Amino acid sequence: MKALDLRFRQQRVRVSENRDRALKVMRGRLVFFQVIACLGFSFMGLRAVDLMVMQAEHTLFPAAESMAESSVRLDAQNDAAAAKTRRANIVDRNGVVLATSLKTDSLYVDPAQIIDKEKTAIELAKIFPEYTADELLDKLNLPRRFVWIKRGVTPKEQEAVLNIGEPALAYTQEDYRFYPQGNLTAHLVGRINREGQGVLGLERGVDDYLNTQSSDKVTDGSVELRTTIDARVQHILRREVGRAMKDFQGKAGAGVVMDADTGEVLAAVSLPDFDPNNPPNPNAPEMFNRFSQGVYELGSSFKVFSTAALLEFKKVGMGYRLDAREPIKYGRYKIHDYHAEKRILTVPEVFMVSSNIGSAKMAEQVGTEKIKTFYRDLGLMDAPNFDLKEVSAPLVPNPWREINTLTTAYGHGIAISPLQLVRAAASIVNGGYLVTPRLVVSSPEDIQKSVRVVSEKTSRDMRALMRLAVTEGTGEYADVPGLVVGGKTGTAEKPSKNGRGYDRNRLISSFLAVFPADAPRYVVFVMVDEPKGQKKTFGYATGGWVGAPAVGRVIEAMAPMVGVKRREEHTPAHDIAAPLKRYVHYKEHER
- Give me the phi and psi of 442, to 5 degrees please: -115, 160
103: left (phi over 0), alpha (psi -120 to 50) or beta: beta
Q: How many CB atoms lie within 10 A of CB 326?
A: 10
- The answer to whether 142 and 111 are in contact (CB under 8 A) is yes
Active site residue 300: yes
Show Cβ contacts of residue 535 under 8 Å, excluding neighbours closer than 6 positions.
none
**Element at 306 (helix H, strand E):** helix 303-314
Residues 511 and 488: their CA atoms lie apart, in Å, by: 6
**Which DSSP string do the residues of 167-197 spell out, in sequence order?**
TTEEEEEEEEEE-TTGGGGHHHH-EE-TTS-
Alpha helices in 213-259 (DSSP H): 215-220, 231-247
The one catalytic residue in 101, 270, 292, 300 is 300
Residues 192 and 569: their CA atoms lie apart, in Å, by: 51
Residues 384 and 390: their CA atoms lie apart, in Å, by: 10
Start-to-end CA span in the chain (Å): 160
- The answer to whether 534 and 251 are in contact (CB under 8 A) is no
Residues 542 and 372: their CA atoms lie apart, in Å, by: 28
Omega of the bond prior to 399 within 30 degrees of 0, cis? yes
Q: Which residues are 341's β-sheet partners?
A: none
**Element at 67 (helix H, strand E):** helix 62-84
Please give, one letter per residue, the 3-state secondary structure of 362-389: HHHHHCHHHHHHHHHHCCCCCCCCCCCC
Residues 189 and 204: their CA atoms lie apart, in Å, by: 9
Three-state DSSP state, 454:
coil
Three-state DSSP state, 451:
coil
Residues 313 and 304: their CA atoms lie apart, in Å, by: 14
Q: Is 420 exposed, middle or buried (0-12, 13-18, 19+ CB in 10 A)?
A: buried
Residues 190 and 287: their CA atoms lie apart, in Å, by: 10
Show Cβ contacts of residue 433 under 8 Å, excluding neighbours closer than 6 positions.
427, 449, 450, 451, 452, 453
Catalytic positions: 300
